[in-house]
Structure 1
């Protein structure tokens, strides 16, 4: 098992342009990824994702290649800025699929977190559960069902 990254793919019955908007437009992101979002959609732009009761994850946009890839580096701890040693890299890749769009999320860098091995593993395990739930919410949102 790879203990340094997470990868999850889902197939969404929607065109890439629709999926792209759902992962990059802050108003749409807030419908499935937390309750509030802000995204400056430019490399180096800032982003924030807020979950009621859980705080805000701050990020820096690292990649914008519409409608193929979107990436950001986000802090592993809530309410802190992402810097070396406290952040991981998230990359969304969109591809055509016979049923619509295949969206793959890859999160890397758990091995670079300034924490002991147990804490890094706990962070990764929590994010595995998080991406599972969040991507299910994205699929439901784009299929017209409120999660």
Structure 2
């Protein structure tokens, strides 16, 4: 499995970023970050009512519950952004995708030997405990993206 650097928190911009390399084609990585049946294999159980901007649905995690989700931007095969309601300090998911929600964006780039994927999550300044939520999501992205690498490199 490709060894990647950990996520980085920027407290000045209330953001988390992680860039990884995956020994898999751009098409496979795009499918894994955009199609609910593939997202569900490495992240949370995902249901969406469509694929385009504005599509809504949920992402469900064991011991956490369902989180509302909406596609905010899509530029196939290089960028997809999701908004999710997840203010951990408020006791879990928010129902309206406004207060306490953050946006995470996957940017994909074809590179020698595979794909470079960057996740950038913003909006933590809108949560009830920005620093705690930043740290929670930093460790979350490390765990979840490592699962994605293992899944795709095992299938390549």
TM-score when normalising by structure 2: 0.84
Q: List gaps (5 residues or longer) in structure 1.
A: none
Give the SS at the match of 1:92: strand
The equivalent residue for 2:56 is 46
- Taking the aligned partners of 1:122 and 1:79, their CA distance within structure 2 comes to 15
- CA, structure 1 residues 82+124, in 2 after alignment: closer, same or farther (shift >3 Å)? farther
Q: List gaps (5 residues or longer) in structure 2.
A: 1-8
The equivalent residue for 1:57 is 67
- CA, structure 1 residues 27+45, in 2 after alignment: closer, same or farther (shift >3 Å)? same
- Taking the aligned partners of 2:105 and 2:53, their CA distance within structure 1 comes to 13
User: Which of the numbers 115, 118, 122 marks the counterpart of 1:101?
Assistant: 115
- Taking the aligned partners of 1:46 and 1:142, their CA distance within structure 2 comes to 26
Q: Is the contact between residue 46 and residue 57 of structure 2 (CA under 8 Å) also seen in structure 1?
A: yes
Shift of 1:70: 0.4
Q: Do residues 76 (structure 1) and 86 (structure 2) align? A: yes
- Taking the aligned partners of 2:32 and 2:97, their CA distance within structure 1 comes to 26
Q: Is the contact between residue 13 and residue 99 of structure 1 (CA under 8 Å) also seen in structure 2?
A: yes
The equivalent residue for 1:132 is 142
* Count of matched residue positions in the alignment of Structure 1 and Structure 2: 140
The equivalent residue for 2:40 is 30
Q: Is the contact between residue 71 and residue 90 of structure 1 (CA under 8 Å) also seen in structure 2?
A: yes
Spell out structure 1 runs of 4+ moving beyond 2 A.
77-85
TM-score when normalising by structure 1: 0.89
Shift of 1:98: 0.9
